[in-house]
Chain A
């Protein structure tokens, strides 16, 4: 194979990327991932020497939005060049081959790079009814994941569906969808949740894996560099939250003035992602927020079932009015019963004691 002979530095030179630009990219990446400035040189060296990485991308119960996010970034950037550099040996949407030829390419890559290929997964895996709800080339997603994961050196779960189950797992979860990490337990798994995840997060992590290996992860398997802060803590609307200035609807004065969107359902306070710092659309937009829409919490587990996108985080998820009425009614029934019993007990005591006489009180008759 030619993979091992090709290096990233060589590939970039061929694409007309100067060493200076490459170093600038490494410095940007290092600072983006909160690495020390001195690391950028190490990263440049490691990346330059990195052999062409074999990548198998499996798409299960997904919408292709994650692939769209990655491939339709604003303009061809050095990040996308790095993505071009990897040997994407299998990807439904992007590969030219189809049918048997496509599956052969996957099997070939698995054999040729046994124990060395990187497995990227988007989409959740259905387990209900033996996984019949999503199959590829006659194989269930579960079988394919287990087969490919066996010889992968690491797995990257791209998007919330692969990382935490996502939309397919939303109640009532008709297909019994689960995340990659629910099935594979013996491989390092990097979760890159988001619906979709940010392109720079995907390429940044890829660069880190190529240069240094697995980045530092939080307790939900997310790289700390990108998912360490909450949207709320880095939001440009945060000062309005602190001052108590809130948009009450999507077309009121507050909304026009760019006030905090907490009251109309923003989930920024409990959502960890880099949208507020790295921003979308080539760094110009905070995704939904700059367009006047609150964060929907898409990089957190089970965000679909978090009580509604347009209900404030502090509200009840359900119908508290009916809970109160039911509670009051049940209490009334038991209370009336208890009152009747008390009355009976009281009457019985009166009947038993009879009329009080002077003797009862210890007096002389």
Chain B
């Protein structure tokens, strides 16, 4: 198999398997979580908890002042990843092909800056995770695995775009394959937060509201 065949496989069958597994997992996990329902309330509830649920969604998304360096890095990484995924022109083509909706991509040099910042943020967070004793104790193998799976698409994409290291075709194939690994891991790891974070924040907030705890 040469690099173009690998690329064609990654864009075709590879992507098909990854998509099916990812959407299978998302559907499965959401149904499992939702079907658990709420635990029985043995006391009268204050109210229906909707207001506190909504407050929590916003509040837990806002920055905090403690650990400001780590939190800033985390913000840069999350917002950066969002921009890269949805506003790099080749990616917009991918989404247009699927959804039929088109929005203009950002110029490459802007995406380039965002990518470097995101990669730097990820590296910074990894170093803190390893050097800070508390975070090291709290980190499991899964955390490091998820870090690697998220980092690979970023670094391979960056290397492919700049024609660094390997042949572009091969690097592009590896980039797409690394995204597929991420897609497969997404519903079955801590990465589920990408589609459950609003739900879980609302759940926590509304539970607080029902029991009279300040969100």
A residues contacting B by CB (< 8 A) are: 219-220, 230, 232-233, 241-244, 246, 248, 262-263, 269-270, 300-303, 305-307, 311-318, 320-321, 323-332, 334-336, 338-339, 342-343
Contacts and interface: CB of A to CB of B under 8 A. Distances in A.
A103 B108 CA distance: 58
Interface of B: 2, 4-5, 7-8, 11-13, 15-16, 19-32, 35-36, 89-91, 93-94, 96-98, 102, 104-109, 163, 168-169, 172
A331 B31 contact: yes
22 contacts: A242-B108, A243-B108, A244-B105, A269-B169, A302-B4, A312-B90, A313-B90, A316-B94, A316-B97, A317-B15, A318-B11, A318-B12, A320-B15, A320-B16, A324-B19, A327-B27, A328-B23, A330-B20, A330-B27, A331-B26, A331-B31, A335-B29
Contact of B97 (A244, A303, A312): A312
A325 B22 CA distance: 11
Given A316-B12, A335-B31, A270 B7 contact: yes
B90 A262 contact: yes
Contacts of B96: 315
A342 B36 CA distance: 8
Nearest to B4: A300
Given A220-B2, A242-B109, A315 B97 contact: yes
Contacts of B107: 242-244
Contact of B23 (A269, A300, A323): A323
A158 B107 CA distance: 40
A189 to B, nearest CB: 15
B36 A324 contact: no
Contact of A338 (B8, B31, B163): B31
Nearest to A306: B8
A136 to B, nearest CB: 29
A201 B104 CA distance: 39
A267 to B, nearest CB: 10
A325 to B, nearest CB: 8
A314 B91 contact: yes
A102 B108 CA distance: 58
Interface of B, secondary structure class, is helix
Contact of A339 (B19, B20, B35): B35
A173 B96 CA distance: 31
Given A262-B93, A342-B32, 19 more contacts: A242-B108, A244-B107, A269-B169, A269-B172, A270-B7, A300-B4, A313-B172, A314-B94, A315-B11, A316-B94, A317-B12, A320-B16, A320-B97, A323-B15, A324-B19, A324-B23, A327-B25, A332-B31, A338-B32
A260 B73 CA distance: 35
Contact of B28 (A242, A269, A321, A338): A338
A331 B15 contact: no
Contacts of B23: 323-328, 331
B28 A301 contact: no
Contacts of A302: 4-5, 8
Contacts of B94: 312, 314-316
Given A233-B163, A244-B89, A342-B35, A328 B26 contact: yes
A323 to B, nearest CB: 4
Nearest to B22: A327
Given A317-B8, A318-B12, A331 B28 contact: yes
With most chain B CB atoms within 10 A of its CB, the pick from A263, A270, A312 is A270
